[in-house]
Structure 1
Amino acid sequence: MAENYVVNGVLRYKMATVDKLFQPVQKKTDDTGNKVTVVGTGQVGMAAVFSMLTQNVTNHIALVDVMEDKLKGEMMDLQHGSSFMRNAKIQASSDFAVSAGSKICIVTAGVRQREGESRLDLVQRNTDVLKHIIPPLVKYSPDTILLIASNPVDILTYVSWKISGLPKHRVIGSGTNLDSARFRYLLSEKLGIAPTSCHGYIIGEHGDSSVPVWSGVNIAGVRLGDLNPKIGEDDDPENWKEIHARVVKSAYEVIKLKGYTSWAIGLSLSQLARAIVTNANSVHAVSTYLKGEHGVEDQVFLSLPCVLGHSGVCDVVRQPLTDAEKNLLQQSAKLMAKVQSGINF
């Protein structure tokens, strides 16, 4: 009887046909150098996985979740689509060992935000979840970069940094990358041009205290603030401030309508993963260690435009902020620090 053997976790059968078809030259390796682990196979995690695979960010994905049936089902469903992707290798297990050797570990697992619930209400519940996730990820991939997407993302990025023991540049929160994308989309709708041609950032918290940097919003280098000195202010007759209000309400509205957010955050995570895997040195608004920037005195993680590359955060862009913008950022930092002081590690 022919002996069975295992390749890439798949049971195969030793057959004369295979022996006749192939002449082995050297041992095959599973290492692609671009392995990404995603913890959590909920709507956000799977949207991120689908985006990364179909956008060719990586062809090596590992899924980790405690719900074994769903985990296996998601893995099989993706594997069945392998012919439509570029030689994708997809693994899944409830054992964190499957994550070994990951360049990036994306954490989307956690308690889902309920309708009407602020991200800050989720802190302790999701902190308790991270205590069981971060240590094994670092154990099996000590050189990994942690990309946190679970909410409230800024505080949970801080929590992940404290638990992991990794240097601050290798613990990143998805932050306001999505908020900034929403901001640009809404600007584009008002201006009648493509979102990619609208340049502007939301910084600070990914949440209610986020800060729109109206002083830097520009189209082809033309600052809207030069054309309308009141832009973003309460007494602006054109009411541009409404755009930021809609950004803040966006997640709540989507959750109310469909029960969760998924596609936009999945695409956002895919963009961030691409920047790291390809060493792009591109700029993205992500949650990073902020102490010492713009007068922030607390150990908090909040979003600023950052240069992302192979090693994680390479640089923090020091935007020239107005006094009002700086004050709002500092208030956001104080709010984060206050919440963090009550976390039970």
Structure 2
Amino acid sequence: MSSKITIIGAGSVGSTIAYTLSGEDIASEIVMIDINKEKVEGEVMDIEQGTCFRDPVSIVAGEYEDAKDSDIVIITSGIARKPGQTRIELTQTNVNILKQITPEIVKAAPKALYIIVSNPVDIMTYVFTKISGLPENQIIGSGTILDSARLRCGLSEHFKVAQRNIHAYVFGEHGDTSFIPWSAARIAGVNVDDYYEMMPGFEKLDKEAMLTYVQKSGGKIIANKGATFYAVTRGVCKLCSILMAASESVSTVSSMMHGEYGIEDVCLSTLALVGPKGIHSKIPMTLTDEEVEKLKISAEALKAVIAQIEL
């Protein structure tokens, strides 16, 4: 597979994405861009020196103009939350960074597919959609890809079954108002609740505890090791492979809502068909009334943040 991928931001997430891509066959050319020139040059040198073990790949520390003809641009720029800093303060800071980046990168790579990873990802996806001037199908927020992966990991451990046999998703915000539509959670095609009857002997699943596990995993990892970057990197690299594939795949990505489930003018995650042209369409998965209400609560929480930031 021959493709050019540009990564903006050489922090833990951006650098780990570049490193992971360098060992896979998704990209033949990788460009890393960061305001800290020495940092990005060091990351590129370190990654590049390990590429003799794979087919040739170009990895460069570049400027915005070097993103020309990129197939995919991944935006990871932003700062982590500091002690005493409110969520709104963090959001405004990262929005301001995105506002500086957007015109530069869009000018260089107007036809690229954009993956927004910077947090808070749903707000950042919304802002990028509003200010970039790009068609919405080209803009994909990483959304609850990571949350859904955490859910499948938790369910796999509980039911002792391979994660690839589990189809369960996290909807809404990548954050505290996310929720699990259990009505659609399946193990090898069987609803999670019915699985107990077919396979007796398992302890009953505590759904609230599973949601807590999904929502609090990031905080626990940060408390233990300072940052999270491995699992999100795997999710983003998988998304890159989907975008470069021959056909669409189903994924929980964040994108602009236009009346789906009665929600408009906010970005959050539901099921979408994603492929070589970006977001093809949303999949109108049937939700219960309670699940639709939870999705609306998540949307309103995001809109409350958007109302307080300066676009």
TM-score normalised over the length of structure 1? 0.84
Unaligned residue ranges in structure 2 (runs of 5+): 198-202
Tell me by how many angstroms 1:96 deviates: 0.8
For 1:104 and 1:116, how far apart are their aligned partners in 2?
Answer: 35
Partner of 1:306: 272
Q: What is the root-mean-square deviation in Å for CA atoms of aligned residues?
A: 2.0
Are the equivalent residues in 2 in contact too, given 1:277–1:309 (CA < 8 A)?
A: yes
Q: Structure 1 residue aligned with 2:237, among 262, 270, 275?
A: 270
Aligned to 2:249: 282
Matched, 1:183 2:151: yes
Deviation at residue 238 of structure 1 after TM alignment: 4.4
- Matching residue's letter, 1:311: K
Q: Does 1:337 align with 2:306?
A: no
| Alignment pair present for 1:41 and 2:5 | no
1:247 aligns with 2:188: no
Q: Distance in 2 between matches of 1:278 and 1:37?
A: 18
Q: Distance in 2 between matches of 1:247 and 1:116?
A: 24
Q: What is the correspondence of 1:148-227 to structure 2 with a 5 Å cutoff?
A: 148-226=116-194
TM-fit CA distance, 1:112:
1.4
- Give the match's secondary structure for 1:318: coil
Letter in 2 for 1:165: G
Q: 1:227 deviation in Å? A: 5.1
Matching of residue 141 in structure 1 with residue 109 in structure 2: yes
Structure-2 separation of matches of 1:43 and 1:104: 19
| Aligned-residue offset at 1:122 | 2.3
- Which of 8, 12, 34 is the aligned partner of 1:65? 34
Q: Return the offset for 1:123.
A: 1.1
Match of 1:3 in 2: none
Asked if structure 1 preserves the Cα contact closer than 8 Å seen for 2:2 and 2:27, the reply is no
Distance 1:251 1:116 in 2: 19
Residue 294 of structure 1 pairs with residue 242 of structure 2: no
Secondary structure of the 1:211 match is coil
- Deviation per residue, 1:217-252 (Å, 9 max, x gap): 1111110234579xxxxxx97423211111000110
Question: Which structure's CA Rg is the greater one?
Answer: 1
| Residue equivalent to 1:6 | none
Letter in 1 for 2:21: M
**Matched position secondary structure for 2:273:** strand
The one-letter code of the counterpart of 1:225 is D
Paired letter, 1:109:
S
Mapped to 1, the partners of 2:169 and 2:204 lie a distance apart of 22
Deviations 1:273-317 (A, max 9, x none): 111122441111100111211111x30010011111111001211
Structure 2 CA distance for partners of 1:276 and 1:120, relative to 1, 3 Å: farther
1:99 to partner: Cα distance: 1.1
The AA in structure 2 aligned to 1:246 is: Y
CA contact (8 A) 1:115 1:252 kept: no
Cα pair 2:187 2:195 within 8 Å, conserved:
no
How many residues in Structure 1 have an aligned counterpart in Structure 2? 306
1:273–1:292 distance in 2 versus 1, CA, 3 Å: same
CA offsets 1:3-28 (integer angstroms, 9 cap, x no match): xxxxxxxxxxxxxxxxxxxxxxxxxx
Matches within 5 A, 1:305-324: 305-324=271-290
The alpha-carbon deviation at position 196 of structure 1 amounts to 1.4
Q: Secondary structure at the match of 1:69?
A: helix
Amino acid at match of 1:58: A
How many angstroms apart in 2 are the aligned matches of 1:116 and 1:196?
40
Distance 1:152 1:303 in 2: 13
